[in-house]
Amino acid sequence: MNYRHYFHAGNFGDVFKHWLLLALLEALTRKDKPLAYLETHAGEGLYPLAREGEAQEWRLGIGRLWGAEEPAFAAYLEAVRRLGGEAADGPLRYPGSPLLAADRLRPGDRLLLCELHPEVYSALRRCFAPDRRVSVHQRDGYEALGALLPPPERRALILIDPPYEAKTAEFERIAQGLERAFRRFPQGVYAVWYPIKTLPPLAPFSRWLAAHAPGPVLDLRLFVREPDSPLRLNGAGMAILRPPFALAEELAKGLRQLARALGQGAGAAWEMRWLREP
């Protein structure tokens, strides 16, 4: 386990993921019923952003969006500013998904966060020490999909955001984890983030979702350039199982603006399609 999210925090893949995460949570908390949030690969919570040296991926992510005035990004940018602190060129620190989710969720909701790396796990625990809604687990996130579901609330968003150290073999592990999760909690809303370098390696997982998901699947993709090189990150995707009703239209509008703001050259684009229709 060599992956450390610190190097990538606030990059375009994070912006895409976290903007979507907040949109999902906003839609799911409109109903006055408690929600559980389970994250299989939680990371640290809050990341310092390097302003010198190589780890400055954030400059092409949150740095690019920093002054954006489109209403679609307002809630996300406001949360990043408040949680991470503000400098002229971007936030001082970048809040990860657990912190953004905890900030968005209500007093009666619950967060279950899984992180395997010992140091990252300790940092995550420290981050949430006073928050009684949060339980932090040092355990394998895929195994937790079987062990921690179904939640007593019977309503949950589950974010699966692995490091893809195993490259495309990670999709097999995700599918195995989801199979366990579907057996125990088919009514959950699942969101799976994935990196895009080229398109062909993604096709088997899309087919698997279309065939095995117990409900509708919406697949969203952001390309910052043509997905034509296996050597670099050219885009990011999120497959959302059972997305909240009527969210697709709202997301399409924001995604179009995100592709414009974060594009890095020819081929910057966005895509939204149902892998399985509602």
Ligand X SMILES: C[S@@+](CC[C@H](N)C(=O)[O-])C[C@H]1O[C@@H](n2cnc3c(N)ncnc32)[C@H](O)[C@@H]1O
What positions carry a catalytic annotation?
A: 161
Strand residues in the chain grouped as ranges (E): 36-39, 46-48, 86-87, 90-91, 93-95, 110-114, 134-137, 156-160, 189-196, 217-223, 235-241, 269-276
Asked whether the beta carbons of 193 and 219 are under 8 A apart, the reply is no
Cβ-based nearer residue to ligand X, 128 or 215: 128
Asked whether the beta carbons of 18 and 97 are under 8 A apart, the reply is yes
What DSSP character marks residue 150? Answer: S
CB-side neighbour CA atoms (13 Å) of 65: 33
Cβ-based nearer residue to ligand X, 164 or 215: 164
> Among the residues of 105-246, which ranges form H helices?
118-128, 141-147, 169-184, 203-212
Cβ-based nearer residue to ligand X, 138 or 267: 138
**Minimum distance from CB of 249 to ligand X (Å)?**
25
**Minimum distance from CB of 9 to ligand X (Å)?**
7
**Minimum distance from CB of 164 to ligand X (Å)?**
8
Match 């740095």 to its residue by tokens: 63
**Which positions touch ligand X (CB under 6 A)?**
1, 3, 5, 14, 17, 40-43, 96-97, 114-117, 120, 140-142, 161-163
- Sheet containing 269-276, strands listed edge to edge, beginning at the edge strand earlier in sequence: 134-137, 110-114, 36-39, 156-160, 189-196, 235-241, 217-223, 269-276
What DSSP character marks residue 93? Answer: E
Cβ-based nearer residue to ligand X, 138 or 198: 138
**Minimum distance from CB of 190 to ligand X (Å)?**
14
Cβ-based nearer residue to ligand X, 49 or 226: 49
**Minimum distance from CB of 141 to ligand X (Å)?**
4
Q: Which residue sits closest to ligand X, CB atoms considered?
A: 96
